[in-house]
Amino acid sequence: MFRSPAALSPPPSPQLSNQLQTDEGLDVLWSDTTGPACRGLVHEGLHAIGIQRAVEARRETGKVISRILKQHDKGCFKLLEYAPEPVTWAACRSLPLETLHDGSRTSPKWRELIAGMLPAETERVAHLLVASYERLRGSDHMFKFAAPTLDLWLELIDDVRP
């Protein structure tokens, strides 16, 4: 469950989202419940509505990534199979993350954003990251091993930032 809020949480780096993609990373998070990583996810502003929104957003990006993989199952698109989370993390930066835990009437219409805008943004970001990977690393890599590394995530995200 904490992978979804990590994909939508600050800071402006995907480090925590990357860490939580493995069981070992989750163990590290839970072994230090007073540490900055855990406190970044479980804080006084945390509300159930924010967790629900994060889960819905991550689920929506996952659907888009699955659809892209069905259309493109070769070459650098394999990156998406082994590392879908940088796409989720980068696409979710377009959401009003500062209101993630705001359940007030003035909060943005999150369901509409997730169902309306997020799928197109996910597809756009996925194609950008795949093109960046191909340009920077070529297509002769072992995606299974390289794709989950934080260094690669940072390299690709930095490359596609405006």
pLDDT-based confidence at residue 11 (cuts at 50, 70, 90): low
Mean pLDDT of the region 20-43:
90
- Which tens digits make up the pLDDT trace of 57-73? 999 999 999 999 999 98
Q: Token pair of 145, please? A: 């091993």
Q: Token pair of 51, please? A: 């967790």
Report how far residue 115's alpha carbon sits from residue 162's, in angstroms, rounded to the nearest whole number: 24
Instruction: Please tell me the predicted confidence (pLDDT) of residue 139.
Output: 77
- Which tens digits make up the pLDDT trace of 89-98? 999 999 999 9
How many structural domains comprise the chain? 1
DSSP string computed for the chain: -THHHHHH-SSSSSHHHHHTTSHHHHHHHHH-TTSHHHHHHS-TT--HHHHHHHHHHHHHHHHHHHHHHHH--SGGGHHHHH--HHHHHHHHTTS-GGGTT--STTS--HHHIIIIIHHHHHHHHHHHHHHHHHHHH-S-S-HHHHTT-HHHHHHHHHHH--
pTM score, whole prediction: 0.92
Q: Which domain holds residue 100?
A: 3-160
Mean pLDDT of the region 140-149:
80
